[in-house]
Amino acid sequence: MTHIRRLAAGPTAPAALAKIPASLPRGAAPPEACATRPVPLIRRYDTCWLAADGRVERSTRLAPAIPLFEEAFSALARGAVIATEAGPVAVEDLVPGMRARTAEGRAETITWIGSMVLYPGASAGEETGLVRVTAEAFGPGRPLPDVVLGPAARLCLCDARLKQATGLEAAYVPVRALVDGESVIELRPATPVTVHHLVLERQGSLRVAGIEVESYHPGEGLETRVEPRMLSLFLAQFPQLAGLAGFGPPALPRLTRFEAAALWG
């Protein structure tokens, strides 16, 4: 686990689900006269998973470009090296069925891999950039070399101060909460970048070039926060699972970005 110290998407971008008609009925207000409202977007999500018969299946789906979906596909940038039983493997070369070595000391089967493309200027939101963790930002070999993570990455951190927030001395913390402009740096790539995420048979912490990154889990209580039709669309991205219960329990509690800032700000 990482101990805290003070730190010195596819061929098309997200597209609108609905378009303004070229002409308006007589008496209708033009769009700019109406109350402003975000236009829902869709984006392409690529998945591959381990089927029940051991075959690797692949699929491409269009789904809403909202955090519920994007966070499942955007923790690891292309080139991030994952520790596996076969040795270090770049995330883009992983295949479901391979076994990842976790920080918890286990070898876990990778059951699902998702990817999407981040496009420059596709969103003005602050949660869409990459984060570079520079070599040895957290100590010798942690990481080595630099690691580029996606906007949804959470690091496994170990610190006594976490106990007051989670009851444990370890938790998953958004990497964006650790950005300091020196050792952990926000990036805004000028070209499209593919990002990935992984689901393990049992959730845990991926070993990525010396640091530990949370494998994907949607979190507890999702069924109470998402309306049924959207939840069904979301779960369709994970054909290897029989519902939310298939993710199993989270390995560790999570801190929000704001909770992390309160502890270490």
Q: How many Å is the maximal CA-CA distance in the chain? A: 69
Rounded to whole angstroms, the Cα distance separating 159 from 80 reads: 25
Amino acid, res. 109: T
pLDDT number for residue 38: 54
DSSP codes of every residue in 21-42 = -SS--TTPPPGGGSPP-PPPEE
**133-155 pLDDT tens trace:** 999 999 999 999 999 999 999 99
| Weakly modelled stretches of the chain, pLDDT under 70 | 1-40, 122-127, 265
**7-57 pLDDT tens trace:** 333 445 565 544 434 443 444 444 443 444 454 589 999 999 999 999 999
The CATH number for 155's domain is 2.170.16.10
DSSP one-letter code for 248: -
pLDDT number for residue 111: 99
DSSP alpha helix (H) spans, 28-111: 67-70
The residues, ordered by sequence, that sit 6+ positions from 134 with a Cβ below 8 Å of its Cβ are: 146, 182, 183, 184, 185
Is 13 part of a structural domain of the chain?
Answer: no
Token pair of 222 as six digits: 């999702």
CB half-sphere exposure, 62, CA atoms < 13 A = 10
pLDDT number for residue 124: 44
DSSP alpha helix (H) spans, the chain: 67-70, 163-166, 222-225, 228-235, 257-264
pLDDT number for residue 36: 44
**Counted domains in the chain:** 1
Is 31 part of a structural domain of the chain?
Answer: no
Is 6 part of a structural domain of the chain?
Answer: no
pLDDT number for residue 13: 59
Is 25 part of a structural domain of the chain?
Answer: no
Is 28 part of a structural domain of the chain?
Answer: no
3-state SS class at 47: strand
pLDDT number for residue 34: 40
Rounded to whole angstroms, the Cα distance separating 193 from 150 reads: 10
Is 32 part of a structural domain of the chain?
Answer: no
pTM: 0.84
Full residue range of the structural domain in which residue 257 is found:
39-264
3-state SS class at 197: strand
pLDDT number for residue 14: 63
Is 4 part of a structural domain of the chain?
Answer: no
pLDDT number for residue 260: 85
Is 11 part of a structural domain of the chain?
Answer: no
